[in-house]
């Protein structure tokens, strides 16, 4: 009896300032904590303790149906009286989905001196705490007993907080149902991701890729709202609630905007002035990121709510506009996404306490999302039919074109056959004429090359004739005095022969002695030897010239032979010696070189052309001073290098670009064919070598020839 009296007094004290009903829970029952069962107190700053709360006179009723958090960085205290009419010694108290930073329960029992702290700690009190912020707290209330409960709730998101008090058996069955519902939803999420990923791989349409992003962030958002994030991700709750959850929601809306932009082809279908509004939505959806960077989490959630509301309204308007414009995908958009956006608006209104909270409104996003996922998957699958129709139309068009072409071809076959015969005859004649032309061109080419060779030989002829004529004249000039010396010697010999026949003839003896004194035998002997040496020198010079001519004459030998490059250069200089004007010095600086395989005659022609060009370049200068041609040879690991440098007039860059072109010449008409350097280039190329030129106007010219040692 005494115990009942104490309970009556306690209940009277509880209602002395604000009368509230006792929340009685029966077996297999669940009751939402509405305003008839609680009073609330806003703890601005969140610094009040349970002791402060117990003596506070600031608890009041609210015009909201459910407890409502309105202020940032504050805690909401809720006071209620529970009666347990079940057979279990506890009642599960659950807090609805949302961003919950703290959920604590204090049981003051039947006396104010007996306080029990139940539930989780505030995540902001210990940022390193990785313990789950429990959304379910078992309140220990003995069967048929009453207790006073204080709830402390914290969240950076301004919203209504639906709280359920349930019987233990009802909570057990209901949690199984909710888990099955959420599992079914997540199963649909996984199936849709896989299904649309396969479609993206097959079709390569970016709509599927953006839709996959949307499905992923939709699943993450719903998982976070239902408190699954802390179970899956090993991160502290401060990081999860203040950063990961708002960023996930921002990404969720960006995935929506990207998908709708691609699916409805907004850039093509919306007028430019309306498309600019869509760009505004993109910018608006990114504003919460700034608040997150400045650690204004409450502001970030408010901006996300505002942008979600505006995005939903404008996207619905865009869908209606395109639907009435006749754009076919807008039909699926209005069926699926229209409902989804309406449920988003309903969810925002529910969170703000504007519409009633019940089991249907609590899971309306899940239901509409499942329907929307199915509808949009159908819509995206319809794109495959669209692509198939396009492919069939293209094939039908191609078949029609093929048949038309076949008809045209069949109708023109006879005409074409006749034309082919006529054209074939013309081609036969043209081919014959072309063959004749080619033969003429080959003959002309051979003649041009021979002409160049003859031109080179012609330039050498005068010098060679002069070179041969000098020793021959030298020999001829010595023959006459040599003959006279021999006549005198022969006459003296005849006198001695007569004296031998008549040894006692004093007159013949005197005559012989007198003649011997007259002709001076010693002088004749010395003169004969001198004349013979002169003849021998002339013959040697003639032999040298003939040998050089013989070497140079092997121009057309088609066989590779070992050759001494230095000797070839010296032979060329012998032949050109008489053509080199006085005042031009030839400076050969020849390194010791091994024999290399080459076409000797053709290499001789290269050296004749290059040296002769250098001499002509020097002769073309108006003023001469210390003119020379420097010829150097160098031995490297794989090549032999020949450099011919002159002090001539040089060349401009434009001339250098064309010097190896056939028939290109800077000489006057009649002075050159323009084939010399072209033939040189062809010979060097045939030897698999290179020829480079370095020249500047007035600075002379250097030709560098590189020949491989291993030519086979």
- The tokens for 511 are 């005559």
Instruction: Determine the Cα–Cα distance for residues 285 and 143; give it in Å rounded to an integer.
Output: 51
User: Is the model's pLDDT at 457 over the cut of 70?
Assistant: no
* Sign of the C-alpha dihedral computed for residues 652, 654, 656 and 662 taken in this order: negative
pLDDT digits (tens, 9 = 90+) for 276-325: 888 888 888 888 888 888 888 778 878 888 888 888 788 878 888 888 88
pLDDT at residue 694, rounded to an integer: 92
pLDDT at residue 539, rounded to an integer: 72
pLDDT at residue 7, rounded to an integer: 43
Q: Could you tell me if 28 and 86 lie in one domain?
A: yes
Among residues 238, 44, 200, the alpha carbon closest in space to that of 122 is found at 238
Radius of gyration of the chain (CA): 58
Q: How many CB atoms lie within 10 A of CB 333?
A: 27
Instruction: Determine the Cα–Cα distance for residues 595 and 592; give it in Å rounded to an integer.
Output: 10
Among residues 197, 214, 228, the alpha carbon closest in space to that of 373 is found at 214
Among residues 293, 302, 314, 284, the alpha carbon closest in space to that of 243 is found at 293
pLDDT at residue 129, rounded to an integer: 44
What residue spans of 67-167 are helical by DSSP H?
Answer: none
Secondary structure (3-state) at 191: helix
Instruction: Determine the Cα–Cα distance for residues 607 and 615; give it in Å rounded to an integer.
Output: 12
**Last residue in a domain, options 114, 148, 166:** 166
User: Is the model's pLDDT at 379 over the cut of 70?
Assistant: no
Is the residue at 535 inside a domain?
Answer: yes
CB-based contact 535:478 (threshold 8 Å): yes
pLDDT band per the 50, 70, 90 thresholds, residue 390: low
Task: For residues 553-582, give the mean pLDDT.
Answer: 78
Residues 6+ apart with CB under 8 A from 704: 641, 642, 643, 691, 692, 693, 694
Instruction: Determine the Cα–Cα distance for residues 327 and 322; give it in Å rounded to an integer.
Output: 6
Is the residue at 505 inside a domain?
Answer: yes
- The tokens for 544 are 């040298």
pLDDT band per the 50, 70, 90 thresholds, residue 238: low
Task: For residues 471-489, give the mean pLDDT.
Answer: 72
- Residue position matching structure tokens 């250097």: 702
Task: For residues 87-96, give the mean pLDDT.
Answer: 86
Q: Could you tell me if 252 and 339 lie in one domain?
A: yes
The CATH number assigned to the domain holding 64 equals 2.60.40.2380
Helix axes 506-519, 521-552, angle to 10 degrees: 50
Q: Could you tell me if 513 and 572 lie in one domain?
A: no
Instruction: Determine the Cα–Cα distance for residues 688 and 681; give it in Å rounded to an integer.
Output: 11
Q: Could you tell me if 115 and 202 lie in one domain?
A: no
pLDDT at residue 4, rounded to an integer: 42
pLDDT digits (tens, 9 = 90+) for 544-561: 666 655 555 554 566 788
Residues paired with 635 in a beta bridge = 640
User: Is the model's pLDDT at 242 over the cut of 80?
Assistant: no
Query: Would residue 119 be called left, alpha or beta, if left means φ above 0 and alpha means ψ between -120 and 50 degrees?
Result: left
- Residue position matching structure tokens 């709202």: 225
Query: Would residue 45 be called left, alpha or beta, if left means φ above 0 and alpha means ψ between -120 and 50 degrees?
Result: left
Q: Could you tell me if 540 and 574 lie in one domain?
A: no
pLDDT at residue 158, rounded to an integer: 72
Helix axes 364-501, 565-576, angle to 10 degrees: 60
Q: Could you tell me if 439 and 522 lie in one domain?
A: yes
Q: In Å, what is the CA distance from 336 to each residue of 184, 244, 370, 591?
A: 19, 28, 10, 91
Which of 351-360, 399-408, 493-502, 647-656 is the most confident on average? 647-656
pLDDT band per the 50, 70, 90 thresholds, residue 17: very low
Q: Could you tell me if 151 and 257 lie in one domain?
A: no
Is the residue at 383 inside a domain?
Answer: no
pLDDT at residue 3, rounded to an integer: 41
pLDDT at residue 374, rounded to an integer: 67
Is the residue at 179 inside a domain?
Answer: no
- The tokens for 209 are 């890729």
Task: For residues 354-373, give the mean pLDDT.
Answer: 66
Of residues 379 and 596, more confidence is placed in 596
Q: Which of 126-130, 390-394, 431-435, 627-631 has the lowest mean pLDDT?
A: 126-130
- The tokens for 397 are 């068009």
Q: Could you tell me if 210 and 269 lie in one domain?
A: yes
User: Is the model's pLDDT at 646 over the cut of 90?
Assistant: yes
**Average pLDDT value for the chain:** 77
User: Is the model's pLDDT at 14 over the cut of 50?
Assistant: no
Q: Could you tell me if 350 and 231 lie in one domain?
A: yes
CB-based contact 110:147 (threshold 8 Å): yes
Task: For residues 35-56, give the mean pLDDT.
Answer: 86
Q: What's the pTM value of the predicted model, to 2 decimals?
A: 0.45
User: Is the model's pLDDT at 154 over the cut of 80?
Assistant: yes
Of residues 586 and 522, more confidence is placed in 586
Q: What's CA 55's distance to the chain center, in Å?
A: 71
Is the residue at 218 inside a domain?
Answer: yes
Q: In Å, what is the CA distance from 518 to each residue of 98, 478, 480, 536, 711?
A: 151, 22, 19, 29, 70
Instruction: Determine the Cα–Cα distance for residues 165 and 137; give it in Å rounded to an integer.
Output: 10
Q: Which of 373-377, 589-593, 598-602 has the lowest mean pLDDT?
A: 373-377
Burial 416-447 (b: 16+ CB within 10 A, else e): eeeeeeeeeeeeeeeeeeeeeeeeeeeeeeee
pLDDT at residue 702, rounded to an integer: 93
Please work out, in degrees rounded to the nearest 5, the angle formed at the alpha carbon of residue 579 by the alpha carbons of 576 and 585: 80
Of residues 674 and 452, more confidence is placed in 674
pLDDT at residue 707, rounded to an integer: 93
Q: Could you tell me if 574 and 543 lie in one domain?
A: no
Task: For residues 642-648, give the mean pLDDT.
Answer: 92
pLDDT at residue 400, rounded to an integer: 80
Residues 6+ apart with CB under 8 A from 47: none
User: Is the model's pLDDT at 363 over the cut of 80?
Assistant: no
Q: Which of 131-140, 558-567, 666-675 has the lowest mean pLDDT?
A: 666-675
Is the residue at 41 inside a domain?
Answer: yes
pLDDT digits (tens, 9 = 90+) for 163-208: 889 898 888 888 887 778 777 777 877 887 887 788 788 777 787 7
**Last residue in a domain, options 547, 579, 599:** 547
pLDDT at residue 95, rounded to an integer: 82
pLDDT at residue 669, rounded to an integer: 52
Burial of residue 331 (CB within 10 Å: 0-12, 13-18, 19+) is: middle
Q: What's CA 345's distance to the chain center, in Å?
A: 45
The CATH number assigned to the domain holding 694 equals 3.30.565.10
Q: Could you tell me if 519 and 662 lie in one domain?
A: no
Is the residue at 414 inside a domain?
Answer: no
Task: Domain count for the chain, please give it.
Answer: 4
- Residue position matching structure tokens 């190896």: 660
CB-based contact 131:120 (threshold 8 Å): yes
**Last residue in a domain, options 362, 378, 412:** 362
Q: How far apart are the first and last CA of the chain?
A: 127
The residue segments making up the domain with residue 492 are 423-547
Task: For residues 579-599, give the mean pLDDT.
Answer: 88
* Sign of the C-alpha dihedral computed for residues 423, 424, 425 and 428 taken in this order: positive
Is the residue at 228 inside a domain?
Answer: yes
Which pairing describes strands 74-85 and 23-26: parallel, antiparallel, or unpaired?
parallel
pLDDT at residue 351, rounded to an integer: 66
Residues 6+ apart with CB under 8 A from 366: 181, 182, 185, 222
Q: Could you tell me if 64 and 199 lie in one domain?
A: no
Q: How many CB atoms lie within 10 A of CB 399?
A: 10
pLDDT at residue 705, rounded to an integer: 94
pLDDT band per the 50, 70, 90 thresholds, residue 645: very high
């Amino acid at each position: 009896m005494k115990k009942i009296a104490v309970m009556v007094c306690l209940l009277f004290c509880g209602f002395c300032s604000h009368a509230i009903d006792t929340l009685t829970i029966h077996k297999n029952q669940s009751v939402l904590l509405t305003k008839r069962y609680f009073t609330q107190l806003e703890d601005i700053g969140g610094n009040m303790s349970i002791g402060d709360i117990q003596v506070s006179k600031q608890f009041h009723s609210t015009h909201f149906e459910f407890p409502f958090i309105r202020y940032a960085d504050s805690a909401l205290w809720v006071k209620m009286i529970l009666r347990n009419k079940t057979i279990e010694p506890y009642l599960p108290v659950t807090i609805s989905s949302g961003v919950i930073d703290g959920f604590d329960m204090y049981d003051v029992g039947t006396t104010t001196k007996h306080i029990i702290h139940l539930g989780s700690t505030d995540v902001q009190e210990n940022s390193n705490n990785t313990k789950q912020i429990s959304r379910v707290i078992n309140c220990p209330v003995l069967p048929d007993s009453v207790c006073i409960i204080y709830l402390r709730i914290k969240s950076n998101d301004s919203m209504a907080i639906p709280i359920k008090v349930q019987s233990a058996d009802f909570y057990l069955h209901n949690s199984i149902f909710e888990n099955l519902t959420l599992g079914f939803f997540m199963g649909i999420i996984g199936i849709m991701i896989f299904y649309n990923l396969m479609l993206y791989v097959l079709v390569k349409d970016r709509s599927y890729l953006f839709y996959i992003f949307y499905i992923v962030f939709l699943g993450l958002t719903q998982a976070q709202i239902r408190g699954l994030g802390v179970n899956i991700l090993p991160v502290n709750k401060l990081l999860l609630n203040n950063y990961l959850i708002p960023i996930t929601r921002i990404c969720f809306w960006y995935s929506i905007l990207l998908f709708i932009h691609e699916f409805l082809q907004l850039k093509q279908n919306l007028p430019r002035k309306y498309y600019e509004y869509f760009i505004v939505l993109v910018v608006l959806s990114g504003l919460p990121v700034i608040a997150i960077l400045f650690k204004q989490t409450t502001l970030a959630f408010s901006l996300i709510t505002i942008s979600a509301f505006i995005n939903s309204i404008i996207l619905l308007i865009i869908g209606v506009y395109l639907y009435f414009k006749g754009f076919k995908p807008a039909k699926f958009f209005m069926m699926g996404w229209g409902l989804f956006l309406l449920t988003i608006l309903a969810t925002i209104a529910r969170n703000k306490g504007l519409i009633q909270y019940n089991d249907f409104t609590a899971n309306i996003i899940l239901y509409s999302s499942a329907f929307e996922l199915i509808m949009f998957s159908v819509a995206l699958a319809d794109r495959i039919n669209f692509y198939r129709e396009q492919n069939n139309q293209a094939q039908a068009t191609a078949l029609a074109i093929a048949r038309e072409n076949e008809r045209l071809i069949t109708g023109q076959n006879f005409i074409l056959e006749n034309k082919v015969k006529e054209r074939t005859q013309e081609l036969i004649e043209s081919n014959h004429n072309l063959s004749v032309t080619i033969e003429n061109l080959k003959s002309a080419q051979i003649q041009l090359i021979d002409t160049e060779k003859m031109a080179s030989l012609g330039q050498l002829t005068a010098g060679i004739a002069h070179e041969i004529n000098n020793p021959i004249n030298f020999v001829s000039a010595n023959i006459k005095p040599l003959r006279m010396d021999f006549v005198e010697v022969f006459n003296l010999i005849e006198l001695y022969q007569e004296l031998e026949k008549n040894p006692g003839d004093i007159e013949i003896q005197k005559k012989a002695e007198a003649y011997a004194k007259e002709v001076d035998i010693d002088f004749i002997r010395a003169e004969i030897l001198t004349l013979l040496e002169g003849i021998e020198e002339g013959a040697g010079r003639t032999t040298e010239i003939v040998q050089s001519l013989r070497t140079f004459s092997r121009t057309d030998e088609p066989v590779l032979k070992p050759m001494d490059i230095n000797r070839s250069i010296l032979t060329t200089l012998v032949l050109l010696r008489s053509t080199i004007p006085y005042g031009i010095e030839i400076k050969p600086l020849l390194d010791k070189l091994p024999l290399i395989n080459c076409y000797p005659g053709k290499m001789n022609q290269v050296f004749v052309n290059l040296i002769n060009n250098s001499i002509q370049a020097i002769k073309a200068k108006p003023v001469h001073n210390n003119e020379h041609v420097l010829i150097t040879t160098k031995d490297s690991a794989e090549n032999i290098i020949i450099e011919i440098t002159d002090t001539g007039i040089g060349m401009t860059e434009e001339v250098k670009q064309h010097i190896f072109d056939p028939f290109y010449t800077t000489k006057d008409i009649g002075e050159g064919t323009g084939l010399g350097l072209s033939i040189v280039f062809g010979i060097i190329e045939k030897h698999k070598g290179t020829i480079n030129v370095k020249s500047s106007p007035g600075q002379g010219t250097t030709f560098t020839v590189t020949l491989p040692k291993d030519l086979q």
